[in-house]
Amino acid sequence: MSSSKSLAALQPDLNEIFFRNESQYCLNYYLQNHLLNFLSFICWIHNNSIMMKYEELVKNHSGKLIDQLVAWVISKDPVEVLFNFMDEDQWAIISMHQYEEDTEISLRLHINNFYDLYLGYYDDEDEFFEIIHPLTEEEIEQLPIGLKKVMKKVLDDEKGMRLSGNFLSR
């Protein structure tokens, strides 16, 4: 089926939807003559809306994400607090993977008592994205003392630990 036949088949629907008055004529003309560009633009918006959704979630609701992660970690038995490094940076990390959404949410403690919330995800085209949010003093305060102590020990010893999640809630 050629593109002109495809556009002709769409013509009644486009007219019905977009050609309700003369002021919408330009939009109707644009859609008929540039439908492929429009569909590409819609796909771009969809992919970017996924990224914006996660960015807004981390930026505006990081406290809720931290609560969700901590609740999950505390309920897990056993839980692993891992040690990791890259170049000169080192950190202790707890992570939660949501496989159905292709996401990873992590809490990391770096040297100098610097905490961040990490969110990694794959988009529809299997491209990987990372969002890193430094924790505020208020967000650090909401962490259980036991979790902070264990993460500090892991970072200091440069060695991961495996322990009961309820130990971290103290």
pLDDT (tens digit per residue) in 138-157: 999 989 999 999 999 999 99
What is the reported pLDDT for 30?
41
Q: Which of 68, 140, 142 is nearest to 110 (CA)?
A: 140
Would you list the domain boundaries of the chain? 3-33, 54-168
What pLDDT does residue 170 have? 67
Query: What would the two tokens of residue 115 be?
Result: 């905490």
Is residue 138 within 8 A of residue 62, CB to CB? The reply is: no
pLDDT (tens digit, 9 = 90+) per residue, 26-62? 444 443 443 444 444 434 434 444 555 778 878 887 8
All residues at 6 or more sequence positions from 88 whose CB lies less than 8 Å from its CB, including other chains:
none
pLDDT at 45: 38
- Give this prediction's pTM: 0.67
